[in-house]
Amino acid sequence: MEGEIERRRWILTGIVQGVGFRPHVARVASHYSGELTGFCGNDTLSVFIEGQGPRIVLDAFIKEVVETAPPLSSILTCQDSLVDVVDTEPGFRIVASEGGSGARTLIPPDVSICPDCLADIRDPRNRRFGYAFTTCTNCGPRMSIIEDLPYDRPNTTMREFPLCEVCSREYRDPDDRRFHAQPISCFDCGPHIWMVETEEIPDGVGDPFSSVALPVDLVDGSRGGRSRENQDAVLDAVAARILSGEVVAVKGIGGFHLLVDATNESAVARLRKRKHRDGKPLALMVKDLDAARELVELGEEGSPAESLLISPAHPIVLAERRSGRPIAPSVAPGLNTLGIMLAYTPLHLLLLERIGRPVVATSGNLSSEPLCFDNAEALARLGKIADAFLLHNRTIAVPVEDSVVMAAKTAFSRVRKKLTSESDTPQVEDMTGGLTLLPARRSRGYVPVPVALPARVNPDSSARADGDNLVILGVGGELKNTFTLVRGGMAFTSAHIGDMGSLASQQAYERAIKQLTKIHDENPSVVVRDSHPNYATTAWAERYVGAAREEGREVQQIALQHHRAHAYSLLAETGVERAIVIAVDGTGYGDDGKIWGSEIFLVETEPAAPRRLGQTLPATFPSVITPEKFDPQASLDRSAASEDGSTLLHSLGSLRKDETVSAGVAGQIQTAPRLAHLPYFPLPGGDLAVKEPWRQAAALLTTFGIETTGLPLQDRLNTTVGKAVLSQIPQSPETCALGRYFDAAAAILEICPISTYEAAAPVALQTAAEHWLAENPAESVAMLRAPAYMAVTPEISALSAVETRVLPVQNIVSELTQGMKQGKNPGELAFRFHVQIANLLASAAIKAVNKYECAAVGITGGSALNSLLTSIIGRQIEESGLTWLTHQRVPANDGGLSLGQAYYGYLLSQ
């Protein structure tokens, strides 16, 4: 070697395990053979590397390691230090992993089959030809098989399958792409598949009061075998059953799917009946991109929608459906979109190639229950749904649902497409970017990649604030539940768990939290929950805090209002410190005990400026911190009592001279004040009103004093039930949620008077609006481009944090009703309603921006997944010269709620 020899140690953190990083380092080291010695390995926190050689070689080596890192990796930090030179060392090698406790490395997500493995399973000369569990360094299961760290085969469920001689050679060969790939296997040493017919399941299995047990051979892999002949026979048999119209439960990477022929209406209808899923759209799986393009509009080659479909995550993409395709009507009844994904494992791909047509691939569960992922559990719970089961014996450690992303055309792109196809009509500028990508469920392929929270540095120190040492848990909400663990400035959101109404879901939730805290080797010291007193997650948080106290651990519990948590989720994702946030939703417990969901908040993540203190809040958290219920008059009285007229702080917040609200004392984070919302109206029947939107329509029109005579709704109100509903209105719970306004509008227009699934009415209203938009581009342009056309929308006066503004919406509802009475097209009225509501919310947000000097406006909450509404509001915000914020990494719905909760706890901890 030439030059002075030195030895350096590098510590790399991030997603550096399970992505082929150590093999990558070894391959790079081989480029400097004869000049470089050393080793690399894993511990629970990082990949560590030691290299010895001339400084110029070491510099070139680490530069190449970082710049050519594996595609699935993500390096967060690279620490470099000098260590003692070693006298003799035999080249460069990979060393055994090191255990440990405390902070842990980032776990990679499960990854769809890569092009190289795809080529392997299609090549008759390859020994993995047709092998259903083919993987390599660049693809396959990761999170779903990891039980502990560091990421080595003994810490995964693949430890049950010792490598054969040939696989072992590949595993040890630095030039092989399976070098140190933990999930690899083949026909000789890996998992295998077998089929179980439902008739083989003994009666009584699945009955909690029965002691009947499953025969062991149905679940343990002892039937069938590893041979190619056995696998082909099983796949042929399963494909034949699906083609004959049967429902088959198929075990994949992270759980079970229920598969049926998507072109067979009776098969799809049978699945819906057995699964108790009346109208909610079902997802499709196809074998490749060409098959997807046959069914949905993906745009030009390389479009965002296409890129999503073929990305390593392979999510379900909701895209506009092509007309005239032979998809069963009950797959997505009445909708202009289809949810579609590509086969993402070798097993699915081999099966789809045999079937030769698209299949419905919906979650393997009963509606509102968690995903099945264990063989015995699936046979017990899905036996009344599936006619047969395709099982394998690779254990799933962490169940993971499919991710869902909406690739929706914006209002202007729809108009432009229509107008540019008509030569006599001028083109229309696409003011909203053409395609809106909105994550609806973040799970397989994305979880557990963390969201890096905005750095909050102590002004007296160069280090991050002390709060980064705390472990904070956001427990999520009641619907679409996830939870989020924050440590070291990183937010780790769980895979989708689902609705928390069943015991099975709550057990799955408990299991998932224990698994995540085990992997991270941390117990939360701060727990943030929803302010709703009756959520299952509220009860869990209180039990956890109580159990911790019995163990001698102090755990602080914080309650955060539902829609504020949505708003903080948006700021956590975008890194923006101050914004006006529109939180639109279908439900959510408010500070006043009513149901919120149309809020405009001023959200700030910076601590309040130091001020003269009236009453100082404690520096440490009490057992529960609930966001204040602000009393403007009490605050004014306190302010008036100040001798010099300066603002006094008190236990509920501060009132500044500019009338803004601060949630705490100097140096504490401010809880977002509610600037405005839509008017409240009753929900006669409570939850029943959500299932029967005509009840909401009756209550809304009664509240606004709008006559129902001449509407189809009147026929329902003339019945005994209808009269009872009218009598319930004065005693009913009240809501201002935008989702409920959309419910009522859909019922007034007779588009959806009865809902068959959550959000069915708003989805139907949006679909009707988009159908009309597509067929009437000129009139649509007039509405979209000229807010003055919407003269029915009153002028919004300035908003104040001291007095929450109720936004004027009565005229919009009145015009909608009058149009229906006049016999106008319901689609036109639905579109106009979207535009008017969007104008109202955008105008209010811009007024708030002007008052509070913000540069950004964002939208969050379940109703933000209405791409028509979001795109219209976004156009107005951007044309006003403001930054428009939407969710791009976590869902706007309750799937992102836990991130906002955890971020709020993180802010308070600083």
Domains of the chain: which residue ranges? 5-94, 108-190, 193-402, 608-626+637-668, 681-888
CATH 3.40.50.300 fits 5-94, yes or no: no
Give pLDDT, residue 797: 63
Contact (CB, 8 A) for 52 and 205: no
Report d(CA 144, CA 147) in Å as an integer: 8
Contact (CB, 8 A) for 431 and 582: no
Are β-strands 526-530 and 472-474 bridged in parallel, bridged antiparallel, or unpaired?
A: parallel
CATH classification of 193-402, choosing from 3.90.870.40, 3.40.50.10860, 3.40.462.40, 3.40.220.10? Answer: 3.90.870.40
For the segment 583-594, what is each residue's pLDDT rounded down to a tens digit?
A: 999 999 999 999
Contact (CB, 8 A) for 265 and 329: yes
Closest of 141, 155, 765, 876 to residue 521, by C-alpha:
155
C-alpha dihedral sign at 451, 454, 458, 463? positive
pLDDT averaged over every residue in the chain? 86
Mean pLDDT over residues 878-907, rounded?
Answer: 95
The predicted model scores a pTM of: 0.86
Secondary-structure class of domain 681-888 per CATH? alpha beta
Mean pLDDT over residues 257-286, rounded?
Answer: 96
Mean pLDDT over residues 399-426, rounded?
Answer: 62
**Alpha helix positions (H), 382-425:** 411-420
Highest mean pLDDT among 125-134, 485-494, 516-525: 125-134
Give pLDDT, residue 456: 59
Mean pLDDT over residues 760-771, rounded?
Answer: 96
For the segment 324-351, what is each residue's pLDDT rounded down to a tens digit?
A: 899 999 999 999 999 999 999 999 999 9
Q: 348: left (phi > 0), else alpha (psi -120 to 50), else beta?
A: alpha
Give pLDDT, residue 187: 97
645 has pLDDT over 70: no
CA 406 to chain centroid, in Å, comes to 11
Are β-strands 526-530 and 734-735 bridged in parallel, bridged antiparallel, or unpaired?
A: unpaired
Closest of 43, 6, 51 to residue 25, by C-alpha:
51
Whether 5-94 and 108-190 share one fold: the answer is: no
Exposed e or buried b per residue across 381-404, where buried means at least 16 C-beta atoms within 10 angstroms of its C-beta: bbbebbbbbbbbbbbbbbbbbbbb
Highest mean pLDDT among 50-59, 303-312, 610-619: 50-59
Task: Name the pLDDT band for 768 (thresholds 50, 70, 90).
Answer: very high
Residue 769 — φ and ψ, nearest 5°? -65, -45
Give pLDDT, residue 101: 53
For the segment 175-213, what is each residue's pLDDT rounded down to a tens digit?
A: 888 988 899 999 999 999 999 999 999 988 877 778 888
Identify the residue with better confidence: 45 or 276: 276
Closest of 222, 233, 218, 353 to residue 285, by C-alpha:
353
CA 703 to chain centroid, in Å, comes to 36
Identify the residue with better confidence: 623 or 829: 829
Secondary-structure class of domain 108-190 per CATH? alpha beta
For the segment 709-740, what is each residue's pLDDT rounded down to a tens digit?
A: 999 999 999 999 999 999 999 999 999 999 99
487 has pLDDT over 70: yes
Give pLDDT, residue 667: 39
608 has pLDDT over 50: no
Q: What is the dihedral of CA 370, 287, 391, 500, to 10 degrees?
A: 0
